[in-house]
Structure 1
């Protein structure tokens, strides 16, 4: 596996792990490498120091080193706000998993009791719900959720 420091055309820094450099090139050319902040697929590799093993015991890697984008204080503040929002939603709603689109429709059409729910939906499913007039709020994936 190889780790690349990446940036998008919106100057968002992030990292990506790939099987090898050819895998990165194939995925980038296919538009499969996207910025986790803005979704841009205009992504480029950045210079990064090589990881060199030393005899010293490895210390815990700080969040900023594990996630280069976290060195931007404004971005770190935004990520923490999203983290708090997701925690609040999890504590105050029912998790319905991949049944989310079905359950949201049942509540919208009054076939099920209205209640706060959360779960998973693909981008296409979320878009279809919104087009039907069903209010949903897709939330971005946090850096630690990508592992």
Structure 2
């Protein structure tokens, strides 16, 4: 795995991991690397400094942020969005498409839900006028 610092043509900085340098090149050429802030696909690598400690301080442990704390404003906003979704809606898991369709058809009362759907299920919901959208985080059952 290789970690790159990236920047879109609108000067938004972000980073990502890739299987290899060739993997990055092929994904970029296919337009599959997207800025998480604006959706731009004109992405370039930026300079990165390796995380190397000086020899005389090798015995000291550098202070690191906790992994549970957001590392950027974007991560903090996504964490808050997740908190709001989880606090104000019901997780229905793999039953999302069926539950959304039943609510749309009036078979059950409407309520705020979130869950998982296959791409073809989500596409069918959208085509039938059911308002759905992807969430930018993994569902609880897939979290580490």
TM-score when normalising by structure 1: 0.71
Query: 1:31: which partner in 2?
Result: 31
Shift of 1:124: 6.2
Question: 2:4 & 2:122 partners in 1: Cα distance?
Answer: 31
Query: 1:15: which partner in 2?
Result: 15
Q: Over the residues paired in the alignment, what is the CA RMSD in angstroms?
A: 3.1
| 8 Å contact kept, 2:82–2:137 | no
Question: 1:44 & 1:146 partners in 2: Cα distance?
Answer: 30
Shift of 1:32: 2.1
Shift of 1:91: 1.8
Query: 2:99: which partner in 1?
Result: 103
Q: Which runs of 5+ in 2 are unaligned?
A: none
Highest relative contact order (Cα 8 Å, sep 6+), 1 or 2? 1
Question: 1:81 & 1:52 partners in 2: Cα distance?
Answer: 30
Residues 17-67 of structure 1: CA distance to partner in whole angstroms, max 9, x if unpaired? Answer: 12221121122112222112222221110011122244132431478xx95
Question: Which structure is larger by alpha-carbon Rg, 1 or 2?
Answer: 2
- How many residues align? The count is 135
Match of 2:76 among 67, 75, 80: 80
Shift of 1:121: 3.7
TM-score when normalising by structure 2: 0.73
